[in-house]
Amino acid sequence: MNKNERASSVLKILNHKYPKVPIPLKHKNQFELLIAVLLSAQCTDDRVNKITPSLFAKANNPIKMKKIPVKTIYSIVRPCGLAPQKSKAISNLSKILVKKFNGNVPENFEELEKLPGVGHKTASVVMSQGFGHPAFPVDTHIHRLAQRWGLTSGKNVKQTEKDLKLLFPKKSWNKLHLQIIYYGREFCTARSCYGIECKICKTCYPNRKSPIKTKKA
């Protein structure tokens, strides 16, 4: 089975298993999504979803958020980890959004990635889930699975994103990156399967007998 055949099998299995995929991070507007994704760095979605209601009750837009002291933001987001950096980034990006974008979240990668605390992956999630533009956010989990399934050389998340975009139809990207995340959490976790147990791994590599080690991003 070559790489294109593996990609076709992966897409078929995921579409059957997850015909519909909810967005993991709870939000009511693009600003809330941006903040939630920023907070999710090195933190689980479940924990973020427990924390954001308290934060958004105080401020669910940049006009309100910029007025909240960083100390107050920090006290709320502290359980997410990296709280000092994240609280400052939330405050500073809110001020920029008000000053430069009239309180709106910019709808392009270039401006999003200039915001404090916002990298390419965060921008990709906002463009995909917030605005509906084709994007393929790749985190360490998708990076690991793409290696297990033989879809990438696995050097880094940037290369993995490039490889996946070449393998899958553009119209599938927004749904597919979520399908991969859900499948990984349920069947092909970091500490199980190891490339030999789940349906996708068995389909892609039916003759694989030994666990494989994946390269970290």
Q: Which fold has domain 3-21+136-204?
A: Endonuclease Iii, domain 2 (1.10.1670)
DSSP code string of 128-160: IIIT--------HHHHHHHHHTT-S--S-HHHH
Residue 119's pLDDT is: 95
| pTM of the complete model | 0.92
- Rounded to an integer, what distance in angstroms lies between the CA atom of residue 99 and that of residue 82? 26
Given 28, 58, 100, 121, the catalytic residue: 121
Residue 216 above 90 pLDDT? no
- Domain 30-130, classified CATH 3.20.20.70, yes or no: no
| Per-residue pLDDT reduced to its tens digit, 92-143 | 999 999 999 999 999 999 999 999 999 999 999 999 999 999 999 999 999 9
Residue 47's pLDDT is: 97
- Rounded to an integer, what distance in angstroms lies between the CA atom of residue 134 and that of residue 191? 31
Residue 154's pLDDT is: 78
Mean pLDDT of 174-194: 95
Mean pLDDT of 148-167: 94
* Domain map (residue ranges) of the chain: 3-21+136-204, 30-130
- Rounded to an integer, what distance in angstroms lies between the CA atom of residue 85 and that of residue 43? 14
Known active-site residue 121: yes
For 86-93, which contacts have Cβ atoms below 8 Å and span 24 or more sequence positions?
A: 86/38, 86/39, 86/41, 86/117, 88/116, 88/117, 89/38, 89/115, 89/116, 89/117, 89/118, 90/35, 90/38, 90/65, 90/117, 91/65, 91/66, 92/116, 92/117, 93/34, 93/38, 93/62, 93/117, 93/118
| Per-residue pLDDT reduced to its tens digit, 1-50 | 999 999 999 999 999 999 999 999 999 999 999 999 999 998 999 999 99
Given 66, 86, 139, 163, the catalytic residue: 139
Please, which pLDDT band fits residue 57 given cuts at 50, 70 and 90? very high
179, 14 contact by CB (below 8 A): yes
